[in-house]
Amino acid sequence: MGSNTGEKPYKCLECGKSFNDRSNLSSHQGIHIGKKPDQCLECKKTFSQSTGLARHLRLHRGQKPNKCWECEKCFYQKEHLTSHMRLHTGEKSFNCLECGKSFRNTSNLCSHQTVHTEEKRFKCLECGKIFHHSRYLVSHMRIHTGEKPYKCLQCGKKFHHSASVRTNHRIHKRGELLRRCGE
């Protein structure tokens, strides 16, 4: 019953998710009790469901079946492709409830939300500027040290921040487009 008809009569009482057969429900219920019977033989990481293990094995095999049709970058998980596509579309559907600022993914939103909940803890000893995260202080310190670890592969110019390389790359792309259109 259910597996050939598209019906999903077996429902998890914990979360409400439905399944087409009893064995899939049983396998799923393990996630609610922390049961992780499937283990990767290469790195020993464990998974609550065999589908998670199958997805994980793509990493070890170098398989990236999810390809972006805009830039042809490949990802091993569909969720990573979905998140990546927001770069092309400009979609920012994760909103901070405190201030309304929008983000492309939950990771950036969570990082931002510390602005509202935590004190600024990381202080630059050179100029006194204070930051919420240590990574922002590390990035800021490059201004004082003169370190420019990011290099444009097209022109060789060096930058303090990786975002500046991306901006520089877009300038190169725009220049190429203008040259092509002007011919």
pLDDT in tens, 47-89: 777 778 888 887 778 788 888 888 888 887 888 888 888 888 8
Residues 47 and 84 in one domain: no
Q: Are residues 52 and 68 in the same domain?
A: no
Count CA atoms within 13 Å of residue 15 on its CB side: 10
Give the helix ranges, DSSP H, for the chain.
22-29, 50-61, 78-89, 106-117, 134-145, 162-182
The reply to whether 126 falls in a domain is no
Q: Is residue 134 part of a domain?
A: no
Do 106 and 84 lie in one domain? The reply is: yes
pLDDT confidence tier of residue 42, bands split at 50, 70 and 90: confident
Share of the chain above pLDDT 70, in %: 90
How many residues in the chain?
Answer: 183
Which range marks the domain in which residue 154 is found? Answer: 150-182
Where is the domain boundary, 98, 117, 136? 117
How sure is the predictor about 177, in pLDDT bands with cuts at 50, 70 and 90? low
Same domain (yes/no): 56, 17 = yes
Predicted TM-score (pTM) of the model is 0.38
What CATH number has the domain bearing residue 40? 3.30.160.60
pLDDT, position 55: 80
Is 142 a member of any domain? no
Does any domain span residue 141?
Answer: no
24 occurs within a structural domain: yes
**What is the tally of structural domains in the chain?**
3
Quick check: is 5 in a domain?
no
Distances in Å between the alpha carbon of 61 and those of 56, 75, 90, 147, 172?
9, 13, 32, 37, 35
Per-residue model confidence as pLDDT tens digits over 141-151: 888 998 888 88
Q: Is residue 144 part of a domain?
A: no
